Amino acid sequence: MAEKRPNARWFVIALPYLWLAVFFLLPFLIVFKISLSTPTLAQPPYVPSFNSLAEIWEKARQFTIDNYAFLASDSLYYSSYFSSLRIAAISTLLLLLIGYPFAYAMARAPRAIQPMLLMLVILPSWTSFLIRVYAWIGILKPEGLLSAFLIWLGVIDQPLRIMNTETAVFIGIVYAYLPFMVLPLYASLEKLDPTLLEAAADLGCPPWKAFWLITVPLSLPGIIAGSFLVFIPAVGEFVIPDLLGGSDTLMIGKTLWREFFGNRDWPVASAVAVVLLLLLVLPIVVYQHMQARQVEAAR
Amino acid sequence: MNRSFSAVNLIALTLGFAFLYIPILLVVIYSFNDSRLVTVWGGFSTKWYASLLGNRQLLDAAWVTVRIAFLSATIATVLGTLAAVALTRFRRFRGRTLFSGLAYAPLVMPEVIMGLSLLLLFVAIGLDRGFWTVTIAHITFTLCYVAVVVQSRLVTFDRSLEEAAMDLGCPPWKTFFVITLPIIAPAVIAGWMLAFTLSLDDLVIASFTTGPGATTLPMRIYSSVRLGVTPEINAVCTLLIGLVSIGVIIASLVQKRSIIERERAERLAAG
Amino acid sequence: MATRALGPVRRSFAPWNDPTAVPLIRFDKVTKRFGGFTAVDDLTLDIHEREFFALLGPSGCGKTTLMRMLAGFEEPTEGRITLGGEDMAGRPPYRRPTNMMFQSYALFPHMTVEGNIAFGLKQDGMTKGEIASRVEEMLKLTRLESFAKRKPHQLSGGQRQRVALARSLAKKPKVLLLDEPLGALDKKLRQDTQFELMDIQVTLGLTFLIVTHDQEEAMTVADRVAVMDKGKLIQVATPGEIYEQPNSRYVADFIGDINIIEGRITGASGGRVTIGSAEAEAPLTVASEADLAKDTTAWIAVRPEKTRLSLDAPPAGTANALTGTIFDIAYLGDWTVYLVQLPGGKILRVSQANMTRTVERPISWDDKVHLWWAPEAGVLLSR
């Protein structure tokens, strides 16, 4: 639509652009600014006033890195960050181990039923995330269904202690994020030309070896996309560690929530958010780059 | 190779789907449990559904949530479709890199950060928190999902259809409405549904951006869940699961029927 | 072209006529069913060492299934396949001494040209030095030396085809299987590559089995051609025999252009068979030793280029003389093809070589013409 009138074009671009600038970009700048404010100035209800340039300058002079120093001095914060990254990384690995065979089996299923399998994978993620996490409470708690079932089977005689541990968080993340891992894996495995595996076999390569030499390298885009797609949100996850994890399960999303709703310390909460964002900038940029490349490739 | 769909694959699929569906099924089953205890089956009962009807707070929250979801999904669909058109059709304009960054980032942005930053914005500009702030927040984060869904359809769109329309004398804006939009409509509808359910489901962003009188259903569920598993919550969850499942199934049936009809029409045309 | 040198070698090569020769490949009463569909039906076939053998037929005739059973991708439902005297039953593709060049080439997209060629060699546990020198040799054979480090998507269609060939040849297989190897190339490149394939086959002394639906390709490259239909072999013979002595209407019709005239046997004596046909006033004569009963239905097949066409009547007593009207003319440069309509409505093709640049009195549309052919030019078909 090269000859589209400039004002129509302007309208198409400007409307969503403005919206995102005001409600997505600007808030981050505010978070950044508040993270540099002193807590005393920022007692809620916090209403910054930008009445005059002089006042802004005055405010700017009061900027402080105290909040960041506080984050560095208190072990709660850096162990929260570390623990979030660790839990997200382990969960991503678990998701790959569980999701890959699942996606592989889907891609090898008869063509006719593949759309149905795909819908069955997506369907749970259309139902509420909160409900799906909640469902595990009834299963995992000591007097819950899993323990009762295993005791009935005679496998164990004491109720399992899974609820309120890190294990429960892993189970929750793997369960809630499985579709996001399976879908990109399936997309790349489904594109794999089966004659490549025939060619490998024809050239003397047994199936298990062909899997490592052909299937895995060619599904690498799916592996990377799936891993980023679950790792990034898992780092900032709040609901799962809050409902399934114990008080000793530290995750930064939970810490931020507590800092905000519990301690009402907005500058520190903002500083927590800024650092979390910095931690995720690299993976987010890598992921976006890949997304953009994929869209370009689809052209 | 024909034998490639082996027993191992069948087992992987069975275990995978069992893992995905058993927890949800348990919630549904126990919503009909007469007993208050999870592990005890006290017989079939619909009393928890009846008690829901008397729960004013929950019903109010549900009504607020549906209104927010409908409004935010509709606006997000308009904005998201525009964003998708801008990103696929206009290859070069000032700030395009920033724009595409803004359009993709919310997909992976941790919800706590989105929620916190929007709240601070609303406080900074002095907007009273409540129904409208949650709606704005939901538009912002669901817009990006709509954009991605619509964009994936637009990149495979045959541009010669638009060129044909314009060649036949149709002005560009009209071409968009009579040619482009009808063809990408399934993606736009899918985007709307996605935005609707995401809004319906959101706890974290709504918790940050809400105010008095605008408590959403997930927030109500969350606060009861923190107190433990209750049969009423099982019943609410079952209703929600049922509604979403019916919606998705109807949507896929409609889509399937349109595919079948198109195939039949094509066969007729060919025969 | 190297083909000139091949002439004498090929002329003396005919192990299939030697009753003491042991075939390299033997399909013994092989049947393959997919559910209720029979792809290959009780088929027996011998292929000899160093032979260039073509399986020819329309899609769905079972030719690809036959090849895939030899490669090990499908197991026969019934019957036996032996290769070099060994029964191949139950042996997976990665333990068979065959290599295949796939129709889609199936090049590994994440590996370079070198990596693709070396893939099979690595599976055999060859040393690095051996692999490198073999890869080098294959690159040279297929003239790909300058593309060794490229990935498949950086190559043209013809180059990819050569990589696929180099990869399947690298292991020096007992049998090279070629599945529609040239289908994706344009006509000119296809013809050049056909000669290259023949050259490589003789140079390396390997057995090639090619599957194709292109009769011209099969005729060009192969020592012997098997024409298949509905899972069965219809005729197995040299290209010359297939063209000049088809054993059935199916083969005659499938290979090249041909006119087929139906009739009933009216007599047979002294190596001549006469047939009465509704298309001709006088009985048609064909040279044949066949011993067919009177009144059975039979067909005479005659190639367009073996039919004479003229505005003037042939001398009285000429066999197989017909008259007709020119229905259409196609000028092809070297040949002109005339479609002649007989009084009964049937249309025959007649082609004439354009040997001079000008024709004194060209035959034109709607002209009344005479056509005839020698009894030796036609073939008598009973099925």
Segment C248-307, tens digit of pLDDT: 889 988 888 888 888 888 887 777 888 888 777 778 888 877 777 788 888 888 898 888
CB nearest B116 (choices: A15, A20, A256): A256
- φ, ψ at C24 (rounded to 5°): -80, -45
What's the alpha-carbon Rg for chain C, to the nearest Å?
A: 25
CB nearest B24 (choices: A132, A228, A291): A132
CATH code that applies to domain C3-97+173-250: 3.40.50.300
Query: Which of the residue ranges A123-127, A162-166, B12-16, C10-14 has the most confident prediction, judged by mean pLDDT?
Result: B12-16
Residue in chain C closest to A194 (alpha carbons) equals C106
Mean of the pLDDT values across residues C45-60?
89
Q: Does B237 touch chain A (CB under 8 A)?
A: yes
pLDDT for A298: 52
Is B124 close to A98, i.e. CB distance below 8 A?
no
Query: Which of the residue ranges A106-110, B43-47, B263-267, C311-315 has the most confident prediction, judged by mean pLDDT?
Result: A106-110
CB C298 within 8 A of CB C277: no
Q: Is residue C241 very low, low, confident or very high in pLDDT (cuts 50, 70, 90)? A: confident
pLDDT for A45: 45
Task: Give domain limits for chain C.
Answer: 3-97+173-250, 257-381
In this model, does residue C357 exceed pLDDT 80? no
In this model, does residue C246 exceed pLDDT 70? yes
Taking Cα atoms as reference points, which of B248, B201, B208 lies closest to residue B69?
B201
Mean of the pLDDT values across residues C68-82?
90
In this model, does residue B132 exceed pLDDT 60? yes
What digits encode the pLDDT tens for the residues C161-202? 999 999 999 888 889 999 988 877 888 888 888 888 888 888
pLDDT for B205: 92
Q: Is the dihedral of CA C199, C202, C208, C213 positive or negative?
A: positive
In this model, does residue B39 exceed pLDDT 50? yes
pLDDT for A58: 54
In this model, does residue A13 exceed pLDDT 90? no
Minimum distance, in Å, between the CA of residue C94 and any CA atom of chain A: 4
CB contacts, 8 Å: A277 with chain B: 113
What digits encode the pLDDT tens for the residues A88-141? 999 999 999 999 999 999 998 888 888 888 888 888 877 788 888 888 888 888
Q: How far apart are CA C113 and CA C107, in angstroms?
A: 9
DSSP state string for C330-382: EE-SSEEEEEEE-TTS-EEEEEEE--SSS-SS---TT-EEEEE--TTTEEEE-
Mean of the pLDDT values across residues C350-354?
86
In this model, does residue C155 exceed pLDDT 50? yes
| Percent of chain C with pLDDT strictly greater than 90 | 15
Which of A11, A49, A134 to probe the B interface (max B CBs under 10 A)? A134
Minimum distance, in Å, between the CA of residue A116 and any CA atom of chain C: 24
Is B120 close to A126, i.e. CB distance below 8 A?
no
Q: Does C195 touch chain A (CB under 8 A)?
A: no
DSSP 8-state secondary structure symbol assigned to residue C23: P
CB contacts, 8 Å: A130 with chain B: 201, 203, 218, 221-222, 225
Token pair in block for residue A266: 């907005």
Chains contacting chain B through 3 or more C-beta pairs under 8 A? A
Three-state SS at C62: coil
Taking Cα atoms as reference points, which of A126, A225, A214 lies closest to residue A184?
A225
Is C104 close to A204, i.e. CB distance below 8 A?
no
Q: How far apart are CA C335 and CA C338, in angstroms?
A: 10
How far from A245 is each of A137, A163, A260, CA to CA, in Å? 10, 7, 19
Q: Is residue B252 very low, low, confident or very high in pLDDT (cuts 50, 70, 90)? A: confident
CATH 1.10.3720.10, applies to B56-228? yes
Is A45 close to B105, i.e. CB distance below 8 A?
no
Token pair in block for residue A28: 């981050």
pLDDT for C136: 92
Q: pTM, whole model, 2 decimals?
A: 0.80
**Lowest-confidence segment of B56-65, C4-13, C339-348 by average pLDDT:** C4-13
Chains contacting chain A through 3 or more C-beta pairs under 8 A? B, C
Mean of the pLDDT values across residues B52-66?
86
In this model, does residue C5 exceed pLDDT 50? no
Is A109 close to B13, i.e. CB distance below 8 A?
yes
Token pair in block for residue B162: 């638009």
CB contacts, 8 Å: A160 with chain B: none
What digits encode the pLDDT tens for the residues A19-41? 888 888 888 888 888 887 765 44
- φ, ψ at A177 (rounded to 5°): -100, -5
Residues of A (69-128) whose Cβ lies below 8 Å from B: 98, 101-102, 104-106, 108-110, 117, 119-121, 123-124, 126-128
pLDDT for C11: 56
Is A205 close to C124, i.e. CB distance below 8 A?
no
Pick the CATH number of C257-381 from 1.10.3720.10, 3.30.465.10, 2.40.50.140, 1.10.940.10: 2.40.50.140
Mean of the pLDDT values across residues C110-122?
90
Size of interface A-B (CB pairs under 8 A): 259
Residue that wins the pLDDT comparison between C265 and C2 = C265
Which of A195, A197, A203, A224 to probe the C interface (max C CBs under 10 A)? A203
Residue-averaged pLDDT of chain B: 83
Mean of the pLDDT values across residues B182-194?
86
pLDDT for C311: 82
pLDDT for B3: 46
Residue-averaged pLDDT of chain A: 81
CB contacts, 8 Å: C120 with chain A: 203-205
Q: Identify whether A45 is preceded by a cis peptide bond (ω within 30 of 0).
A: yes
**Angle in degrees, CA C43, C47, C50, rounded to 5:** 165
A74-298 topology per CATH: MetI-like fold (1.10.3720)
Is A13 close to B90, i.e. CB distance below 8 A?
yes
CB contacts, 8 Å: A236 with chain B: 109-113
Q: Is residue A47 very low, low, confident or very high in pLDDT (cuts 50, 70, 90)? A: very low
pLDDT for A91: 95
pLDDT for A215: 92
Task: Give domain limits for chain B.
Answer: 56-228
Q: How far apart are CA C198 and CA C193, in angstroms?
A: 9
In this model, does residue B130 exceed pLDDT 50? yes
Residue-averaged pLDDT of chain C: 85
CB contacts, 8 Å: C73 with chain A: 198, 201-202
| Percent of chain A with pLDDT strictly greater than 70 | 86
CB contacts, 8 Å: B41 with chain A: none
CB nearest A253 (choices: B4, B24, B112): B112
In this model, does residue B2 exceed pLDDT 70? no
Torsion angle of the four alpha carbons C19, C21, C25, C26, in this order, in degrees rounded to the nearest 10: 30
What digits encode the pLDDT tens for the residues A207-222? 889 999 999 999 988 8
Mean of the pLDDT values across residues B172-196?
85
Convert chain A into a string of H (helix), E (strand) and C (coil): CCCCCHHHHHHHHHHHHHHHHHHHHHHHHHHHHHHCCCCCCCCCCCCCCCCCHHHHHHHHHCCCCHHHHHHHHCHHHHHHHHHHHHHHHHHHHHHHHHHHHHHHHHHHCCHHHHHHHHHHHHHHHHCCHHHHHHHHHHHHCCCCHHHHHHHHHCCCCCCCCCCCCHHHHHHHHHHHHHHHHHHHHHHHHHHCCHHHHHHHHHCCCCHHHHHHHHHHHHCHHHHHHHHHHHHHHHHCCCHHHHHHCCCCCCCHHHHHHHHHHHCCCHHHHHHHHHHHHHHHHHHHHHHHHHHHHHHHHHC
Q: Is residue C315 very low, low, confident or very high in pLDDT (cuts 50, 70, 90)? A: confident
DSSP state string for C150-170: --GGGS-HHHHHHHHHHHHHT
